[in-house]
Structure 1
Amino acid sequence: MSDDVSFRDRMGGEAASGEERQRMLSHVRHARILDQLSQSGAITVTAIAADLGVSDMTIRRDLVELEREGRLVRVHGGAVLSEAPASVAMDSEEPRFDARLRRGADAKSAIAAYAANLVTGYRTLAMDVGTTTFLMAGHLRELGHLKIFTNSLRISAVLDGGAPEVYVAGGRVRPEEMSVHGPTAIAQFEKLWFDAAVIGTSGITAEGFFDYSFEDTDMKRVYLRRSGLKILLCDSAKFQRMSLVQVGAFSEIGMLVTDAEPPPRIAAALAAARVDVRIVSPLSGN
C-alpha cells in the first residue's frame, strides 16, 4: 500500500505534493506512533509499518526524529516511552562480593532456587560470576547428569564434591571477585556450545543490562554467543541502575528471572524484545 493510499482520507481527501506532502505525512505518522505508545508503552517497527502502510525504513527514520525530540526511546526492533534520565542511577564502583551477597538476600535466594529448577533438564550449563549465580550453584549439587562450565572459582568451590562435572576456564584471576578472565579463558569456552547459560548483572535499564568490569563482561558475552537458552538473573533492587559496561541489549537474552514487576519502561523494552519474564516471590520462592 502506498503512502498516497494510506493517508489520503486522513488528509482531507486530496494528496499534497512535494515537500509539503512529505511534512504532512510525517506529521500524521508521528501522531500515530505516539498514540500507539501512549496506549501500549511500546511499539515494534514491523507492526507500526504494516499499520501505516509504509516501509520499515520510513518508520525507523520517524523513530530517530521522535527520539531527538525526546518523545520516545528507541530499543531493538521498536521504541518505548521516554523517561526522565534522572530516574536511572549510575554505580561507579563495584561493591565487595560479601556486601553484594547480603544486599537483597531473600530476593536473590528465591531467584537462585527458581533458576536452578529451570535448568535441571539440561546437560550442559554455563554459569556466570555473581552473587545470585553463586547461590544458584548450591541447588545443583545433586544433578549428576549436568556438566557445568564457569569462570567463577567461588561457584566451582560450592560444587566441589557434588555430583555435577565442573569445568573452569583457565586464565587470569580477579582476586576480589574470584573470576577467571582473559584471552585463554575466552578461547577455551568459545569452542563450546552450552544448552543454557545463566548470566548475572549489576543492573538493567530499558537500554539493556550492565556489569562493573570489562574482564567479566567479555566472558558474559561468550556465554550469550554460545548458549541456547539465555537466562538473566536480576533482583528488583537493580532496576533502573547502570554501571561501567553495557553487556548487551534485551534482544540477546531469552528469559529474565526477577522478584518483582519491572518498571513500565523496562517492561515495555522487555516485551518489545520478546523476553520471557518470570517473577518469583521472595516469600514463597515459587
Structure 2
Amino acid sequence: MMADDVSFPDKSVAELAAGEDRQRMLSHVRHARILDQLALSGSISVTTIAAELGVSDMTIRRDLLELEREGRLVRVHGGAVLAETPASVAMDSEEPRFDARLRRGSEAKSAIAAYAAGLVAGYRTAAIDVGTTTYLMAGHLRDVGHLKIFTNSLRVSALLDGGAAEVYVAGGRVRPEEMSVWGPTAIAQFEKLWFDVAVLGTSGVTADGFFDYSFEDTDMKRVYLRRSGLRILLCDSAKFQRMSLVQVGALADINILVTDAEPPPRIAAALAAARVDLRIAPPAPAD
C-alpha cells in the first residue's frame, strides 16, 4: 500500500507536466496561426479564429494579450490588427500654425468639410471641435436654422456669427494661436449637455487611435466623445500613419470617419474591427 501511495503522486506530476507541454505547444500553434492570418489580411476576429482553431473566445483573447505584450499585434474591439512598426508611423512634435494647416491639403479638407456638413445638418444639436477641417465644415452650416451649435473654437463662432444657426461657446481660458477655449469651467459647462452629434478634428490617425497636439484641446475632445450620440472624426488622408503628443481615443470611440481617400490596409482593418463607418468624401465642386 505504501508503494502505491507513493506512485500515484509521481504519476500525477508526470501527467501534469506532459499536459503543460502539450498546452505550450498548442499555444505556439495558435500564435503562429494568428500571426499568419494577420499577415494575410491585416486583421482577425476573435470569434472567427476561435471557431477555426476549436477553442473558446477566452482562450484566443488570452493569446492576443500575450502577443500584444510581445509587440506582435494590437488588440482592437472584437479582434486584433498588426502592430505598427516605428518606421511606419511619423511623429509630429510641433503644431503648425492654423493658417499653414488651413492651406495644407485644402482640396481634401474642403471635400471632407462639405460632406460632413451634410451629415450634421440633419440634427438639432451639434458640438464642433477646433481644427481646420471642422472650421471649414462650420461654414456650410451658417444657414441651417434649426441647428444649435456648441463649440470651444472662437474661429468657428466668429464664422457663424450672423447666420441662422444658434451658436453657444464654452467659457474659459483661451489658447491664443488656436483660438480655442479650454479649462475646468469650459469642461464643466459642456459636461452638463448632451449633443446629438459631435464632429472632431485630429492631427493624425493610426491603427491605435487618433491624436492631437495639445493637452488643453484634448480635454474638450473627450467631453464631446462622452456626451454625444453620434461621433464623427474628420481626417484627410495625409494624416494617416501620423501621430502627435496626445492620443485622444481609440478608433472604437468614434462612429464615422470622413476622409478623402482609402486609408492604408492596417488602418482600414482596424476601422473595420472597431465597426467604424468609413466615408470617402467626393471631391468638392469647383467654385
In the alignment, the residues of structure 1 paired with residue 165 and residue 69 of structure 2 have an alpha-carbon distance, to the nearest angstrom, of 51
Partner of 1:103: 104
| Cα offset, 1:36, TM superposition | 2.5
| Cα offset, 1:175, TM superposition | 0.6
Matched, 1:117 2:121: no
In the alignment, the residues of structure 2 paired with residue 39 and residue 92 of structure 1 have an alpha-carbon distance, to the nearest angstrom, of 33
Q: How does 1:81-92 map to 2 (within 5 A)?
A: 81-92=82-93
Match of 2:171, SS state, is coil
CA gap of 1:195–1:153, structure 2 versus 1, over 3 A, is same
Q: What amino acid sits opposite 2:95 in the alignment?
A: E
In the alignment, the residues of structure 2 paired with residue 166 and residue 83 of structure 1 have an alpha-carbon distance, to the nearest angstrom, of 41
* Count of residue pairs brought into register by the alignment: 270
Q: How does 1:93-242 map to 2 (within 5 A)?
A: 93-242=94-243
Partner of 2:80: 79
In the alignment, the residues of structure 2 paired with residue 284 and residue 239 of structure 1 have an alpha-carbon distance, to the nearest angstrom, of 24
Q: How does 1:44-63 map to 2 (within 5 A)?
A: 44-63=45-64
Q: Which has the larger radius of gyration?
A: 2
Match of 1:93, SS state, is coil
Tell me the TM-score normalized by structure 2.
0.89
Q: What amino acid sits opposite 2:139 in the alignment?
A: G
Residue ranges of structure 2 left out of the alignment (5+ in a row) = 1-16
| Cα offset, 1:25, TM superposition | 1.5
Partner of 2:262: 261
Residue ranges of structure 1 left out of the alignment (5+ in a row) = 1-15
Per-residue deviation, residues 153-196 of structure 1 (Å, max 9, x unmatched): 00000100000000000000001100000111111111111110
CA-atom RMSD in angstroms: 1.7
| Cα offset, 1:119, TM superposition | 1.2
In the alignment, the residues of structure 2 paired with residue 276 and residue 125 of structure 1 have an alpha-carbon distance, to the nearest angstrom, of 19
8 A Cα contact 1:186 1:219, kept in partner: yes
8 A Cα contact 2:114 2:284, kept in partner: no
Tell me the TM-score normalized by structure 1.
0.90
8 A Cα contact 1:210 1:246, kept in partner: yes
Q: What amino acid sits opposite 1:65 in the alignment?
A: E
Identity of aligned residues (%): 85
Q: What amino acid sits opposite 1:206 in the alignment?
A: A
Per-residue deviation, residues 99-137 of structure 1 (Å, max 9, x unmatched): 000000000000000000011110000000000000001
Runs of 4+ aligned structure 1 residues displaced above 4 Å come to none
In the alignment, the residues of structure 2 paired with residue 270 and residue 236 of structure 1 have an alpha-carbon distance, to the nearest angstrom, of 14
Q: What amino acid sits opposite 2:261 in the alignment?
A: A
Match of 1:122, SS state, is coil
| Cα offset, 1:41, TM superposition | 1.4
Q: What amino acid sits opposite 2:234 in the alignment?
A: L
Q: How does 1:6-21 map to 2 (within 5 A)?
A: 17-21=18-22
Partner of 1:8: none
Q: 259-268 vs 24-33, which deviates more?
A: 24-33
